[in-house]
């Protein structure tokens, strides 16, 4: 989880960590949005090639050149017309697997890039895509 609470924390996060540490090929694919009187929740696919140091997502990890696709959820809170807090959530194991830090052949309960693919299928109203309960079925098969 990254982001900040309060003006100073948000300004520092955006200025020092978030905006200057984005790969040039970042692509955001909106999936859904919810809102209330003092908040907005966005769900999207965050896609990029890991070509720069991204201390806000992968602290201490040098660029790997790997492609990454991962679902994100952002919760932005407002006081009046000012942003007062932001929380950003994603599945870190999925990111670590896609940049090669968690080998895909190790039997860990991680869905990887399939999360983003499944979410895009659901958002587009398509049947299919990766199965919803693959991890449960794989664990049962292993006994």
Helix (H, G, I), strand (E, B) or coil at 42: strand
pLDDT at residue 29, as a whole number:
95
User: How many structural domains compose the chain?
Assistant: 1
Structural domain boundaries, residue 129: 2-142
pLDDT at residue 11, as a whole number:
85
Phi, psi of 103 (to 5 degrees): -60, 140
Model pTM?
A: 0.78
Spatial separation of the C-alpha atoms in residues 58 and 70, rounded to whole Å: 13
Mean pLDDT by 10 residues, the chain (143 residues): 72 84 95 96 97 92 97 92 86 92 76 73 71 66 72
Q: Where are the beta strands (DSSP E) in the chain?
A: 2-5, 27-36, 39-49, 67-79, 82-90
Q: Which CATH number belongs to the domain containing residue 44 in this structure?
A: 3.10.450
Q: Which residues neighbour 30 within 8 Å (Cβ) at sequence distance 6 or greater?
A: 42, 43, 44
pLDDT at residue 141, as a whole number:
76
């Amino acid at each position: 989880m990254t982001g900040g609470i309060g003006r100073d924390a948000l300004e520092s996060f955006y200025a020092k960590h978030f905006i200057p540490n984005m790969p040039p090929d970042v692509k955001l694919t909106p999936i859904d949005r919810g809102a209330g009187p003092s908040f907005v929740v966005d769900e999207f696919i965050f896609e990029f090639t890991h070509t720069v140091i991204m201390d806000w997502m992968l602290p201490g990890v040098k660029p790997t050149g790997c492609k990454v696709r991962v679902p994100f959820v952002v919760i932005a809170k407002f006081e009046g017309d000012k942003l007062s807090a932001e929380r950003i959530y994603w599945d870190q194991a999925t990111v670590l697997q896609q940049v090669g830090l968690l080998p895909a052949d190790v039997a860990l309960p991680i869905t990887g890039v399939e999360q983003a693919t499944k979410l895009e299928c659901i958002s587009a109203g398509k049947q299919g895509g990766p199965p919803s309960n693959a991890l449960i079925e794989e664990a049962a098969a292993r006994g």
